[in-house]
A = this chain, B = another copy of it.
Amino acid sequence: MTLKLSIVVGNPKPRSRTLKVAKTLATELFGPLSQGAEVIDLADYRDEILEWPSAKMDAVNARVADSDLVIFASPTYKATYSGLLKVFLDRYPANGLSGLVAIPLLTGADHAHAMGPTVNLAPLLVELGAVIPGRGFYFVIGQMDRMEEIVKDAAEQYAADLRRVAAVAEMLPQLRGLQKGMQH
């Protein structure tokens, strides 16, 4: 059994610090398993992301939707996720992220927009059918020098939350009969 892990970054500038934070979170959460994570840097798709139809974009959207866990990361623009990330998510039909666990991650200049991941990005991902294991993660970009430590704490919280949900799932009566699991 393997884990299909993806990282989607909605920063118009490629190789951003937001991407680095997201990768670190994946590593802290899943250790060596995270090495196979697919990284979608939406900056690489700016020419194509507003085209319909687009076989190239369809393929990217499909790979993300086929993941078990996806970290959706974006800088904070106007107190919420970037338009670039929204354009990518708009390409999905209703329930297009059904069947995956998603972690909303926003980076920002200060704490003033710390509610963004929980009140803006999380509901958007939930609308698409994803399940969020706890809070959204907000990272103040000025704390890059302590980034690994802060991300490690967040990862431990997500791990605890994931296990807590798993413990409840074990109590579901029809568990064995209906379990779908991961078939990758």
Bound Cα distance A179, B90 (Å): 37
Pick the contact of A111: B49, B111, B180 (CB < 8 A). Answer: B111
Chain A stretch 68-88: residues in CB contact (< 8 A) with chain B: 68-69, 77-88
Interface centre among A99, A110, A113, A164 (most CB of B within 10 A): A164
Does the CB pair A123–B128 fall under 8 Å? no
What are the interface flags for A155-181 relative to B under an 8 Å C-beta threshold, 1 for contact and 0 otherwise?
A: 000011111111111111111001111
Question: A residues touching B (Cβ–Cβ < 8 Å)?
Answer: 1, 3, 12, 29-33, 46-47, 49-52, 68-69, 77-90, 92, 99-101, 110-116, 118-120, 122-124, 126-129, 131-136, 159-175, 178-182
